Amino acid sequence: MAEKNGRILAVDDNADILFALKMLLKPHCEIIRTETDPERIPQHLSEEDFDVILLDMNFNKDAISGKEGFYWLDKILEIDPAAIVLFITAYGDVEKSVKAIKTGATDFIIKPWQNEKLLATIWSAMRLKKSQKEVSNLRERQKEINTIMDQPFADFIGVSPGMQRVFRTIRKVAPTDANVLIVGENGTGKELVARALHRSSSRNEETFISVDLGALSESLFESELFGHVKGAFTDAKADRPGRFELASGGTIFLDEIGNLSYPLQSKLLTVLERREVTRVGANKVIPIDIRLISATNMGIKQMAAEGSFRQDLLYRINTVEIDLPPLRERPEDIPLLAAHFIKIYSKKYNRNINKLSSSVIKKLTDYPWPGNVREFQHVIERTLIMSDDSTLSEHDFQLSPQAQPSDGLDIDTYNLDEVEKMIIEKVLKQNRGNVSKAASELGLTRTSLYRRLEKHGL
């Protein structure tokens, strides 16, 4: 073979045999590890991945039973059920070798071997290993794709100036591998932007993996993102690749990145800088090739200025920033969105809803939509289900009165502490509990606002 490839571990108590194997394989294989002591097999397997393991059948002098070979075959398959093991056996042990294949070995090599036949057996074993890896990766990727396909989907559309700016940025940035940070309120369509970037990129035929960091606990973070090996913790019953491994070659979307604790930010930064991951419970590193897209509804720049978000991580994730406008700031998109969702749900529920009255459009446009497009979509769906007519009227739409804009703050006291508490409660409610945004609107730092929240028992 013109190009070296493959990682081989050869285990035999005869140093001369190991030397001969190494000389034979050296011109063809990328890595050849040799070992005379089978007790060190677990250590080798914990430190490196091997495509093929060559294993002697007998290790004690004058031993002919093959029991040691079967013992270490079981140990290897216990550590790595997908291991490719070739027995090295004497001519008279062919019957035992055939039994070994039934036990879990892939094939056997007879001593003394013919070089061409030995190489052919090893190449065949390596092709099998490669096929196993491809099937495993495809299976894991298909699981992710099925999960994605089962999720609710809303199309990403708009004619307003704000949305046109977003579209222009997507067209410019998508063909590059630049890291993108998408900022915007909940429900504005941050994941849809990420998918649009992926679809228009050179990686569009590879996997798109979405990770909601806000839903990951500290204890699950490393396992979910970087993977784990069997036995790494109580529930680790098998080796499992992390999201970064599954996304390699494609795009990984890290949603709610502002929710990461400072220690987890450091771990993420290390992976992004080195472009490699180490599974929990393992020592070997796995290179990754990903395009990173992140998103947050938090004031991440303010957080970085206050020290609660790493400045170097912020620089790493936002080579380009896309700011999604809330629905209340793009009322001209509401008729278009309404027609789009009515078409979708009329087909889904077999309804004949064909238009909206002008009074409905005005009602929908005047409403502030605190939940943005996500809320708008749900309202259209619910209204269409409940309506009996082919034309939806304003009376069909039941909008939450508490979400309507208030004329101001009703103050019935001159106690400054009470007034401060009322103002903080109002601003927090307007910002849906987002402390960073509330602090910015109040002209306070997050730390100062937290002190006031504690003071007023909020």
Q: What is the mean pLDDT of residues 191-211?
A: 92
Length of the chain: 458
Name the least confident of 130-144, 303-317, 374-388. 130-144
Write out the H or E segment, with its range, that includes residue 128: helix 115-149
Model confidence at 156: pLDDT above 90: no
Model confidence at 154: pLDDT above 50: no
Model confidence at 81: pLDDT above 80: yes
* Lookup: tokens for 249: 């070659």
Average pLDDT, the chain: 84
Q: What is the mean pLDDT of residues 220-241?
A: 87
**pLDDT value of residue 104:** 77
Model confidence at 395: pLDDT above 90: no
Q: What is the pLDDT of residues 291-303, one digit of tens each?
A: 999 999 988 998 9
Distance of CA 23 to the CA centre of its chain: 43
pLDDT band of 380, cuts 50, 70, 90: very high
Name the most confidently modeled range: 52-56, 412-416, 419-423, 428-432: 52-56
**pLDDT value of residue 255:** 94
* Lookup: tokens for 90: 């004497």
Model confidence at 418: pLDDT above 80: no
Percent of the chain with pLDDT over 90: 37
pLDDT band of 134, cuts 50, 70, 90: confident
Domains of the chain in sequence order = 7-131 (3.40.50.2300), 161-323 (3.40.50.300), 329-403 (1.10.8.60), 416-456 (1.10.10)
**pLDDT value of residue 170:** 94
Q: What is the pLDDT of residues 356-378, one digit of tens each?
A: 878 889 899 999 999 999 999 99
| Sequence-distant (≥ 6) Cβ neighbours of residue 293 within 8 angstroms | 179, 180, 181, 182, 194, 197, 198, 251, 252, 253, 254
**pLDDT value of residue 413:** 63
| Sequence-distant (≥ 6) Cβ neighbours of residue 207 within 8 angstroms | 141, 144, 145, 246, 247, 249, 250, 251
Q: What is the mean pLDDT of residues 110-119?
A: 84
Q: What is the mean pLDDT of residues 201-207?
A: 90
Model confidence at 146: pLDDT above 70: no
- Find out whether 334 and 198 touch, Cβ atoms under 8 Å: no
* Lookup: tokens for 260: 């990461």
- Find out whether 56 and 88 touch, Cβ atoms under 8 Å: yes
Percent of the chain with pLDDT over 70: 88
Model confidence at 269: pLDDT above 70: yes
| Sequence-distant (≥ 6) Cβ neighbours of residue 351 within 8 angstroms | 345, 384
Q: What are the start-end ranges of the E strands in 243-284? A: 251-255, 276-278
Model confidence at 148: pLDDT above 70: no
**pLDDT value of residue 145:** 54
Better-predicted residue by pLDDT, 237 or 190: 190
Q: What is the mean pLDDT of residues 282-308?
A: 91
Q: With 0-12 CB in 10 A as exposed, 13-18 as middle and 19+ as buried, what is 263?
A: exposed
3-state class percentages of the chain: helix first, strand second, coil last, to nearest 5: 50, 15, 35
Model confidence at 332: pLDDT above 50: yes
